[in-house]
């Protein structure tokens, strides 16, 4: 560890959890962040075992997040963690973020930021009160450099005035009864919130549409479904949506489409051109024109803008993917802490994401009537 290395704590991500290892891999990829402590599980034995596996000091493997905040805040400034990564089920995001901010620590949280809109508004007030601390969400797919290239093309007028957006996130892993830890909490309203599929992956589609277009989604007309008998939360849904400046679109998300793995894709059409990007082929961005042949833009090529090229770590033709995109989110957050800069997805995105979910559910419960997304 160098004097410029940031010290990270983690809540969640113990043995048996999927996303914890992904966060840890991403955080250390660029050598700017070291994991120094954690409260990895509600099970004290899991906490200790995870910390031991990760090579952490036993004294900094905590059995709950409250203990972790108190103990870390009491350490000398040159030893305590700088920020906490929250990688728990949804219902724990708010209390951990609140405890961390009030103890003086920056926060990088999995999405959604909170379990419901009431918590999101309370968290926004806490973030505003502690305005010297950074708050970020790990909307991973914003870390793909070609997503940033698409946003820049739209912002520069490269496809003309935006007219139409199609965005979808399609999976098949919940097509039937699934008995594992990941399915268990995602289908439980007490831990996931008022929406299952849309809260889990539909929020990524919503965030991607807003990021690439630079427009805020304002209204939805949604139809959410539960296809697996006995499931308590939606496992599929579609919505028409409206955005600022007359942009219209269609958003679909499903976890019951057999054979689909992680198909997040977006198509944006303007007056003079269009863009298409697919997460399962993330190193390609397709650009269309009204008066020119279609272009295929590829990762790490010299014709890409310098700030887009900076997001790649390998030469052209060497595929980069999910871990590298996640690492870009951590790298951006680390640089924000060191330079007082901003993050792509912070509290504003957190509020809009939760408002989007609540509007979807309200619309679907009212025969798909147009519903305003109200922050």
Q: DSSP string of 42-94?
A: SSHHHHHHHHHHTT--GGGB-SSHHHHHHHHHHS-TTTS-SEEEEES-GGGHH
Q: Is 122 left (phi over 0), alpha (psi -120 to 50) or beta?
A: alpha
CATH code of the domain containing 175: 3.30.360.10
Backbone angles phi, psi at 273, to 5 degrees: -175, -175
CATH code of the domain containing 33: 3.40.50.720
Residue-by-residue pLDDT tens, the chain, 375 positions: 556 799 999 999 999 888 999 999 999 999 999 999 999 999 999 999 999 999 999 999 999 999 999 999 999 999 999 999 999 999 999 999 999 999 999 999 999 999 999 999 999 999 999 999 999 999 999 999 999 999 999 999 999 999 999 999 999 999 999 988 888 999 999 999 999 999 999 999 999 999 999 999 999 999 999 999 999 999 999 999 999 999 999 999 999 999 999 999 999 999 999 999 999 999 999 999 999 999 999 999 999 999 999 999 999 999 999 999 999 999 999 999 988 777 888 999 999 999 999 999 999 999 999 999 999
**Chosen domain end from 70, 104, 133:** 133
**Residues 129 and 152 both lie in one domain:** no
**Residues 148 and 123 both lie in one domain:** no
**Residues 80 and 120 both lie in one domain:** yes
Q: Where are the beta strands (DSSP E) in the chain?
A: 6-12, 33-39, 83-87, 106-109, 135-137, 162-170, 217-225, 236-243, 248-254, 263-270, 273-278, 281-289, 295-298, 371-372
**Residues 168 and 272 both lie in one domain:** yes
Q: What is the pTM for the complete model shown? A: 0.96
Helices 203-213 and 347-365: crossing angle in degrees, nearest 10, is 120
Q: Which domain holds residue 163?
A: 144-315+346-365
How far apart CA 58 and CA 48 sit, in angstroms, is 7
Kind of pairing between the strands at 6-12 and 273-278: unpaired
């Amino acid at each position: 560890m160098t004097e410029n290395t940031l010290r990270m704590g983690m809540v969640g991500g113990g043995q048996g959890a999927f996303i914890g290892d992904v966060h840890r891999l991403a955080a250390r990829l660029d050598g700017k962040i070291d994991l120094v402590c954690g409260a990895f599980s509600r099970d004290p034995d899991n906490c200790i075992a995870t910390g031991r596996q990760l090579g952490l000091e036993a004294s900094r493997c905590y059995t709950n997040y409250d203990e972790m905040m108190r103990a870390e805040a009491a350490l000398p400034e040159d030893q305590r963690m700088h920020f906490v990564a929250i990688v728990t089920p949804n219902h724990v995001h708010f209390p951990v973020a609140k405890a961390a901010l009030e103890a003086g620590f920056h926060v990088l949280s999995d999405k959604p930021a909170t379990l419901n809109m009431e918590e999101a508004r309370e968290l926004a007030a806490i973030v505003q009160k502690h305005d010297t601390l950074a708050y970020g969400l790990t909307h991973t797919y914003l870390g793909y450099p070609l997503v940033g290239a698409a946003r820049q093309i739209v912002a520069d007028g490269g496809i003309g005035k935006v007219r139409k957006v199609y965005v979808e996130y399609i999976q098949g892993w919940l097509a039937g009864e699934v008995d594992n830890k990941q399915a268990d909490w995602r289908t439980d309203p007490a831990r996931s919130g008022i929406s299952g599929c849309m809260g889990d992956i539909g929020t990524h589609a919503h965030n991607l549409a807003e990021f690439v277009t630079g427009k805020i989604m304002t209204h939805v007309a949604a139809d959410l479904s539960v296809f697996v008998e006995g499931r308590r939360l939606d496992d599929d849904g579609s919505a028409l949506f409206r955005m600022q400046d007359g942009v219209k679109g269609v958003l679909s998300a499903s976890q019951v489409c057999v054979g689909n793995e992680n198909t997040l894709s977006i198509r944006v059409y303007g007056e003079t051109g269009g863009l298409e990007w697919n997460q399962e082929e993330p190193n390609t961005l397709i650009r269309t024109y009204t008066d020119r042949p279609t272009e295929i833009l590829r990762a790490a090529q010299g014709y890409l803008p310098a700030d887009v090229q900076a997001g790649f770590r390998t030469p052209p033709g060497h595929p980069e993917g999910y871990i590298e995109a996640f690492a870009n989110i951590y790298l951006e957050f680390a640089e924000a802490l060191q330079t007082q800069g901003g993050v792509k997805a912070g509290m504003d995105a957190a509020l809009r994401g939760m408002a989007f979910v609540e509007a979807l559910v309200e619309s679907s419960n009212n025969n798909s009537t147009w519903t305003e997304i109200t922050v």
